[in-house]
């Protein structure tokens, strides 16, 4: 997820990692941008909002991928080659 967000936002890795950690601790965007500048590398609300957007997008894609894999497996058409192609990192 970190690499995906960095690729989409062009933000520093450390800033993205720390922001995601704060988001996972249920901190809000305004709180992070105002009171956790030292951890985020002075990211503003727009940059943090972009991290949130791409984090949610990545999580939705992963959830959808799992659902597709499950459906293919239930249909008996999931081969190991197809499974590898689906699970191959795209970054």
- Give the predicted TM-score (pTM) of the model: 0.84
- Give the span between the Cα atoms of 41 and 39, in whole angstroms: 6
- Beta-sheet strands, E only, within 1-91: none
- Is the Cβ–Cβ distance between 63 and 34 less than 8 Å? no
CATH topology for 2-87? Arc Repressor Mutant, subunit A (1.10.10)
Helix axis angle for 13-24 and 2-9, nearest 10°, is: 120
Per-residue pLDDT tens digits of the chain, which is 91 residues long: 999 999 999 999 999 999 999 999 999 999 999 999 999 999 999 999 999 999 999 999 999 999 999 999 999 999 999 998 888 876 5
Burial of 84 (C-beta count, 10 Å sphere; 0-12/13-18/19+):
exposed
């Amino acid at each position: 997820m970190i690499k995906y967000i960095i690729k989409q936002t062009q933000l520093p890795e450390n800033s993205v990692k720390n922001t995601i950690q704060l988001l996972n601790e249920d901190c809000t965007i305004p709180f992070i941008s105002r009171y956790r500048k030292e951890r985020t590398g002075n990211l503003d609300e727009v940059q943090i909002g972009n991290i949130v957007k791409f984090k949610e997008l990545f999580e939705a894609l992963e959830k959808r991928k799992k659902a597709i894999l499950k459906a293919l497996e239930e249909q008996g058409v999931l081969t190991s080659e197809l499974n590898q192609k689906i699970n191959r990192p795209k970054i």
